[in-house]
Amino acid sequence: MRGLITALALMLAFAMSGARANGAEDPAGSWVVTSRGVALIRIDVAHDASADGGWHVMWTRPAHFQLDRAATVMSHVSGDIVTQVASNIVSTDTGLRITFDASGGSDGNIVDFAVQPDGSAHLSWAEFSGPALIFKRNIDDLTLGSLDPDMRYPIDITRTTNAELTAMFTADQAARSDGPIDWDVVRMADADRRRRTRQLLEAGELDSGTDFYHAAFIFQHGDRPDDYLLAHSFAMVAMARGRDDASWIAAATLDRYLKQIGQPQVFGTQYSLPNDRPATQEPYNRDLLPDALRAALGVPPLAEQERQRERYDSDRGITIPAPSDTRPAEGAR
């Protein structure tokens, strides 16, 4: 009897090793794509000795949806939430090739599904080339609820933050808060930080929203319009990758860019402090944007901006109005 049990155990182990997608990481388990913790797509993978290929796979998803080119945003969700059971599953060198037939108004799909070294799982469509959709293990047993067809859902992706860039951002901010400040020294250090940040960008070393948030601040302390426009682009990527607090720097870098090319700022984030004259925000198009839009991006309303301008004057002992200047105020932000 003991020998029979041992033989059965060895046979089961051999069968299970074959079901592990030809030696690839075992994909068995529940997997989910989320946006800010909300489940968008769920895939459940289980070993099934009775099924062809040794697997049972089903996914739950909106009947129809679109992904952006980077597979990082889901939009145009429509139709019911549907659950499909795979009609065919084949083990490959990297994972599983899974066929889902069209049913219940949903699309048919052939997908490749594979667990990655970082513990995530990637799904890609066999018929299309492009980035993979990233799943994480569904440890909270999330299920799908109703999704808004008018919403864009940024997909939660675990990204690494560059330690070198974080250190440069910390130095950038400290240089503006630890006085007395030698601005000639600071500007030289700023230029070095911009050069190194650009190198990291071109080497593909910037990944997380925090990386792009830090890069936006470093480049907004540039000295050319292109520096500020690049900083604005960094801020937009930071927001797209989950740093909602990058909205202020997105507004500020756009204002700084506009002023540098001779156009009025529109948010009111930029102040000039001419010597012996009142602080000014000019040129400033105050009528283009309502305060509600400023508030949505974390920018103070017009009345608070005016109080800030008055505080600048009070701190410097300025009380007499005079023509505006365009020298930008130096500051940590």
Using the predicted structure, report yes or no on whether residue 304 has a pLDDT greater than 60. yes
The reported pLDDT for the residue numbered 332 is 45
Which residues, other chains included, contact 49 with Cβ-Cβ below 8 Å and sequence gap of 6+?
Answer: 15
- My answer on whether 149 and 253 are in the same domain is no
- My answer on whether 171 and 287 are in the same domain is yes
- My answer on whether 306 and 176 are in the same domain is yes
- Asked, for residue 326, whether it belongs to a domain, the answer is no
Q: For residue 324, what pLDDT band results from cuts at 50, 70 and 90?
A: low
Q: For residue 13, what pLDDT band results from cuts at 50, 70 and 90?
A: very low
- Asked, for residue 323, whether it belongs to a domain, the answer is no
- My answer on whether 244 and 290 are in the same domain is yes
- My answer on whether 241 and 287 are in the same domain is yes
- My answer on whether 186 and 233 are in the same domain is yes
- My answer on whether 178 and 133 are in the same domain is no
Residue 141 domain boundaries? 17-154
When divided into structural domains, the chain yields a total of 2
- My answer on whether 174 and 299 are in the same domain is yes
Query: What number of other Cβ atoms are within 10 A of residue 312's Cβ?
Result: 16
- Asked, for residue 276, whether it belongs to a domain, the answer is yes
* Boundary-marking domain end, from 135, 154, 173: 154
Q: For residue 276, what pLDDT band results from cuts at 50, 70 and 90?
A: confident
- Asked, for residue 236, whether it belongs to a domain, the answer is yes
Using the predicted structure, report yes or no on whether residue 128 has a pLDDT greater than 70. yes
Whole-angstrom Cα distance, residue 62 to residue 133?
A: 15
Give the mean pLDDT of the chain.
88
- Asked, for residue 8, whether it belongs to a domain, the answer is no
- My answer on whether 217 and 150 are in the same domain is no
Percent of the chain with pLDDT over 70: 87
Among the residue ranges 22-26, 71-75, 79-83, the one predicted with the least confidence is: 22-26
Using alpha carbons only, give the angle 203, 209, 210 rounded to the nearest 5 degrees: 90
Q: For residue 218, what pLDDT band results from cuts at 50, 70 and 90?
A: very high
Three-class DSSP labels, 29-48: EEEEEEECCEEEEEEEEEEC
Using the predicted structure, report yes or no on whether residue 159 has a pLDDT greater than 60. yes
- My answer on whether 98 and 227 are in the same domain is no
The reported pLDDT for the residue numbered 53 is 82
Give, in order, the Cα–Cα distances in Å from 83 to each of 73, 169, 219: 21, 46, 47
- Asked, for residue 322, whether it belongs to a domain, the answer is no
Using the predicted structure, report yes or no on whether residue 25 has a pLDDT greater than 90. no
- My answer on whether 302 and 181 are in the same domain is yes
Fill in the amino acid letter for 45: V
- Asked, for residue 103, whether it belongs to a domain, the answer is yes
Long-range contacts of 40-43 (CB under 8 A, 24+ apart): 40/65, 40/74, 40/144, 40/147, 40/153, 40/155, 41/133, 41/135, 41/144, 42/138, 42/142, 42/143, 42/144, 43/113, 43/121, 43/123, 43/135
The helix/strand/coil state of 251 is helix
* Boundary-marking domain end, from 103, 133, 154: 154
The reported pLDDT for the residue numbered 4 is 41
- Asked, for residue 243, whether it belongs to a domain, the answer is yes
- My answer on whether 131 and 24 are in the same domain is yes
